[in-house]
Amino acid sequence: MKQARTLRRLSQTDVARRLKLSFQQIQKYEIGSNRIAASRLFELSNILEVPTSYFFEGLDEDANTQKDSAMDIVSAVASIKDEQMKARIVTFIQDVAGTTVARRA
């Protein structure tokens, strides 16, 4: 959930408002201290513009290493304070990957 949210440049507060929850509840979902109901996963998939199956990817295979390195990249980019530099890096990553990430204003 955090990965999809971060890639779409949404804050925990943004997601919480759309779900009519507190941002603290989103934090609990992301760290795994609270379970997410199936109906809530459906709502999240719409907000984050991912298929519901996104939340179940890798459960039957060992994908932890790949997800960990992806989260390392997301965390590193998110920590960059210079917004222009951050945008340039995101564009570079998109070019290398051959993809485009949806941008939110």
81 vs 4, 8, 76, 77, CA distance in Å?
20, 17, 11, 9
Per-residue pLDDT for 100 more than 70? Answer: no
Residue 40 · residue 19 · CB < 8 Å? yes
Structure tokens at 99: 């993809």
- Kindly report, residue by residue over 59-90, the tens digit of the pLDDT: 666 555 566 677 888 888 888 899 999 889 88
Mean pLDDT of the chain: 84
pLDDT, average across residues 37-51: 93
CB 16 within 8 A of CB 26: yes
12 or 97, greater pLDDT: 12
Residue spans of alpha helices (H) in 1-105: 2-7, 12-19, 23-31, 38-47, 64-78, 83-97
